[in-house]
């Protein structure tokens, strides 16, 4: 538990130092860091590199600029492996996350590992459900 809180804090601090500007965006990115730690870290790892041959790295600026692919992947998961990942351990559908949580995760990962922060409105996510 302690470790979890610490890593979440580290993530939040890390993201504050990178590209996001504006208080609202910083808040969203910070919330995204916590949400990432809770829902994504176990597969993609805290540093986003994932695990070779199992979970793909998220540290890919082209991927992190692809709004449609990110929304689709998070909401619906993958039914067949497109990258690495075995049949039994595919990217799960995470439709139980709220629109704000998904928006925050996308802001966090793009801000931290992409070229620039990708802001997706909650309405855009709702429409893709």
Binding site for ligand HEC (CB under 6 A): 39-40, 42-44, 55-56, 58, 63, 70, 73-74, 78, 81-85, 89-92, 94, 105, 109
Return the structure tokens found at 54: 């199992």
What's the CA dihedral at 100, 9, 41, 62 to 10 degrees? 70
CB 27, min distance to ligand HEC, A: 18
Residue 73: name the closest of 15, 128, 113, 25 by CA.
Answer: 128
CB 104, min distance to ligand HEC, A: 10
- Kindly tell me which of 26 and 41 has the beta carbon lying closer to ligand HEC: 41
- Give alpha helix (H) positions in 18-92: 23-39, 41-44, 67-76
CB 127, min distance to ligand HEC, A: 19
- Kindly tell me which of 19 and 93 has the beta carbon lying closer to ligand HEC: 93
- Kindly tell me which of 23 and 87 has the beta carbon lying closer to ligand HEC: 87
Task: Return d(Cα 10, Cα 18) in angstroms, integer.
Answer: 13
């Amino acid at each position: 538990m302690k470790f979890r809180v610490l890593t979440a804090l580290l993530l939040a601090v890390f993201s504050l130092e990178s590209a996001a500007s504006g208080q609202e965006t910083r808040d969203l990115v910070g919330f995204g860091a916590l949400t990432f730690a809770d829902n994504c870290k176990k597969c993609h790892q805290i540093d986003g590199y994932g695990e070779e041959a199992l979970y793909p790295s998220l540290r890919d600026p082209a991927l992190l600029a692809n709004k449609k692919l990110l929304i689709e992947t998070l909401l619906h998961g993958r039914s067949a492996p497109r990258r690495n990942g075995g049949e039994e351990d595919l990217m799960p559908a995470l439709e139980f996350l709220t629109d704000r949580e998904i928006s925050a995760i996308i802001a966090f990962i793009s801000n931290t590992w992409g070229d620039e922060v990708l802001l997706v409105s909650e309405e855009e996510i709702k429409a893709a459900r």
